[in-house]
Amino acid sequence: MSELLIKNAVVCDPINKINCEKMDISVKDGKIVDSVSSGAKVIDAGGKLTMAGGVDGHTHCAGKINVGRFMSPHDMRMTNVPGLSGKEAPTATTRAQVGYNTPNAFAIGYRYAKLGYTTIGEAAIPIIGARHTHEEFEAIPILDKFGLTLFGSNWQVMEYIRDDEPEKLAAYVAWGLKASRGYGIKIVNPGGGEAWGWGKNVSGLDDPVPNFDVTPAQIVVGLAEANEKLNLPHSIHLHCNNLGKPGNYETTIATMKLLENIKSKRDRQVLHVTHVQFNAYGGTSWRDFESAAPQVSDYINTTDHMTFDLGQAIFGPAMTMTADGPVEYSNSRMLHAKWSNMDVELEDASGVVPITYSPKNFVNAVQWAIGLELALLVKDPWKVMFTTDSPNGGSFVNYPEAYTYLMSAKRRAEVIETLPEMALGRMNIPGIDRELDLYELAIMTRAMQSKMYCMDTKGHIGVGADADIAIYDLKPDSVDTSVEYAAVKKAFSGATYTIKGGEVVVKDGEITMTPEGRTYWVNAKMPQAVNDAMQVDLVQKFKRYYTVNQANYMVEDAYLPHPVEITTEAI
């Protein structure tokens, strides 16, 4: 039984509607409680900003990132963000660290913890590759993890949608989540992964997937309905068609509209659209390319059925990695960059390509602006998750830098001054004066995640929550975040304290201990009769088409040493 009392914390906890108020926090056995005994260990926060541990709900931290590492020995040398990148020798507490965009697993754990993050979500798990994802999860210290399972180009999914078998579809999704120990449904370029099996792509929501006679629109709606039938804690998590193409904002808005009538029994969105920066492009080619963030934001401001994340671009080297196989191939040809690809039997595709976002490049400059515009033009911060789609838009270690863009118009103006003239006419950010305050930042970096993933013990510090707490060296009473952005960046770059499950894992920006984190997964229950009927079809898939036997396909318990199983009952 361990007890901890944090005194004089200035707490920013939007879930509990606490806006930077001075209070004490009591922790017992890893949970937030009402009070602790007089024997509790005491931490004096000294009036510093205190938030729940951050939750990165969309990052590439296990699985595909290893392809990125494998092809990038040059990344291991990069020291772009001092203290949070590059090579570090092992210490008594920490393992050796390397890398910037594709750091080793240990570094991922330490660096997120230094930023005050305590929970991360891997954005894409191919079911057949899930064992690998969980091996890497296990290697990431400190943090709690969860992952989203890919279903958007899956043969069984497309066949059930084509054959109008919603019950079996739901049973298959439940089985797939269990097989991969996944937390929710990820859809990447619906149908595009299958088309990429022939070196092709789908051109939009109504372009049928070759040989499967379903459209991307049907896949999205079918999986959204299955998601709600299974009553999953998260909505579908969607990477739209036509990512990265000028003019794609129309596809993006059409996709969002498609889900307006889906109903959920749970108190959350029915659609999360991910890294919208890459999907809010105007123009018809790279020549007349421009921001379409206003159009996308205008639509999002009119509706309550969805959330989204930014995919903010950070100037400098990044590493793109996605299940969107065709996009990565085009990237590599366009950028003359090295290209890794992994098509996944019966399920999906993927690719990895390095990129550098240069402020001198007009397209990159506009990309930088689009992410910020989305965050600032969408009025309700509860709809906005802050991400860089790490490391696609840039490494997560740049989050503190990106916060300053959101919180300070002055800081933005400094950057805008360095951008090419041509870019300025294609963006709207110079005319936007909104600046986020700490409360809004807390919403976008931890609180909204609690709601959108229905994780009621994460993203806040009310009684009953996990004692995941970050204390930053900022005094909300006195700091002017729109002017003192250097102080803001410094404070968020190395937490004064990061507390994970009641244990101090970071003190003054340095790792103090490295407990193992837990892995969340969803066990969705469907009626046995439906499961049995689905299994008849699945057995054939394994017998005829998979190269792994069904008995060897499911991720075994051995790969989740610290599981948290969330069960749901189908509706």
In the complex, minimum distance from the CB of residue 212 to other proteins, in angstroms, rounded to a whole number:
11
Q: Nearest 5°: CA angle at 386, between 384 and 389?
A: 120
Of 343 and 437, which has the nearer Cβ to other proteins?
A: 343
Instruction: Tell the smallest beta-carbon distance from residue 231 to other proteins (Å).
Output: 31
> Does residue number 516 form part of the binding site for other proteins (CB under 8 A)?
no
| Plot region of 518 (φ>0 → left; ψ -120 to 50 → alpha; else → beta) | beta
Residue with Cβ nearer other proteins (299 or 339): 339
Q: Scan residues 48-67 and list those touching other proteins (CB under 8 A).
A: 62, 65-67
| Residue 156 found at the interface with other proteins (CB under 8 A) | no
How many residues make contact with other proteins (CB under 8 A)?
A: 65
* C-beta of 263 vs 336, nearer to other proteins: 336
Give the Cα-Cα-Cα angle 310, 315, 316 (nearest 5 degrees). Answer: 125
Q: Which of 357, 518, 549 is nearest to 30 (CA)?
A: 518
Contact positions with other proteins (CB under 8 A) in 226-285: none
Q: By three-state DSSP, how is residue 355 classified?
A: strand
> Distance (Å, rounded) from C-alpha 352 to C-alpha 335?
13
Nearest approach in angstroms of CB 143 to other proteins is 15
Tokens matching residue 164:
């109008």
Instruction: Using CB atoms within 10 Å of the CB of residue 208, give its burial: 0 to 12 exposed, 13 to 18 middle, 19+ buried.
Output: middle
Q: How far is the CB of 454 from other proteins (least distance, A)?
A: 30
286 near other proteins, rule: CB under 8 A = no
Question: Is the Cβ of residue 104 or residue 457 nearer to other proteins in the bound state?
Answer: 104
- Given a contact cutoff of 8 angstroms between Cβ atoms, the answer to whether 398 and 460 are in contact is no
Q: In a 3-state reduction of DSSP, which class is residue 87?
A: coil
With CB under 8 A as the contact rule, the residue among 48, 69, 181, 234 that binds other proteins is 69
Q: Is 101 a residue that touches other proteins (CB under 8 A)?
A: no
Scan for tokens 């004066």, then name that residue. Answer: 433
- Asked if omega into 246 is within 30° of 0 (cis), the reply is no
Q: Which of 103, 121, 394, 517 binds other proteins (CB under 8 A)?
A: 103
Calculate ∠ Cα 113-117-118, nearest 5°.
Answer: 85
Among 197, 216, 283, 381, binds other proteins (CB under 8 A): 197
Closer by beta carbon to other proteins, 72 or else 307: 72
State yes or no: residue 70 binds other proteins (CB under 8 A). yes
In 45-160, DSSP assigns E strands to 49-52, 54-59, 117-125, 144-150
- Measured from the CB of residue 64, what is the shortest distance to other proteins in angstroms? 11
Of the pair 349, 465, the CB lying nearest other proteins is at: 349
The smaller minimum CB distance to other proteins, of residues 85 and 531, is found at: 85
According to CB under 8 A, which one of 26, 50, 101, 104 is a site residue for other proteins? 104
Cβ distance to other proteins smaller for residue 65 or 236: 65
Contact letters for other proteins, residues 307-346 (x by CB under 8 A): ----------------------x--xx--x-xxxxxxxxx
> At its nearest, how many Å lie between other proteins and the CB of residue 458?
25
Contact string 526-545 vs other proteins (x = CB under 8 A): ------------------xx
Kindly write down the DSSP assignment for every residue of 429-466, as one continuous string.
GGG------HHHHHIIIIIHHHHHTT-TTSS--STTSB
The residue type at 96? A
Closest to 112 measured CA to CA, from 88, 138, 141, 91: 141
**Phi, psi (deg, nearest 5) at residue 354:** -75, 155
- Of residues 438, 452, 447, the one with CA closest to residue 465: 447
Q: What's the DSSP call for residue 141?
A: B
Which of 546, 562, 563, 566 touches other proteins (CB under 8 A)? Answer: 546
Cβ-based nearer residue to other proteins, 326 or 381:
326
- Interface region with other proteins, contact rule CB under 8 A, candidates 81-89, 215-223, 393-401, 516-524: 81-89
Task: Note whether 198 binds other proteins by CB under 8 A.
Answer: yes
For residue 554, the minimal CB distance to other proteins (Å) is 10
DSSP 198-245: TT----STTSPPTTT---HHHHHHHHHHHHHHTT-SS-EEEE-TTTT-
Q: Given candidates 4, 10, 81, 98, which one binds other proteins under the rule CB under 8 A?
A: 98
SS3 147: strand
Residue 563 CB, shortest distance to other proteins, in Å, is: 16
Do the strands 469-472 and 497-500 form a parallel or antiparallel pair, or are they unpaired?
A: antiparallel
Q: Is 92 in the site for other proteins (CB under 8 A)?
A: no
Tell me if 75 contacts other proteins by CB under 8 A: yes
Q: Could you say which residues in the range 346-365 bind other proteins, by CB under 8 A?
A: 346, 352-353
Among 17, 41, 74, 360, binds other proteins (CB under 8 A): 74
The token pair that represents 147 in the structure block: 């992952």
Q: Is 498 helix (H, G, I), strand (E, B) or coil?
A: strand
211 binds other proteins (CB under 8 A): yes
Closest residue by Cα to residue 268 from 441, 444, 455, 440: 455
Partnered with residue 271 across adjacent β-strands are: 236, 306
| Geometric angle at alpha carbon 49, from 485 and 3, rounded to 5° | 150
Q: Which two tokens stand for residue 428?
A: 């709207």
Least distance between other proteins and beta carbon 111 (Å)? 14
Assign 306 to helix, strand or coil: strand
Among 23, 33, 40, 139, binds other proteins (CB under 8 A): 139
CB of residue 338 vs other proteins: minimum separation in angstroms?
4
Segment contacting other proteins by CB under 8 A, of 126-134, 308-316, 403-411, 463-471 = 126-134
- Which residue in this structure is represented by tokens 């990125």? 68
Task: Give CA–CA dist 307/286, Å, rounded.
Answer: 28
Residues that bind other proteins (CB under 8 A): 62, 65-67, 69-77, 87-90, 95-99, 102-106, 128-129, 131-132, 135-136, 139, 155, 196-199, 211, 329, 332-333, 336, 338-346, 352-353, 544-549, 551-552, 556, 558
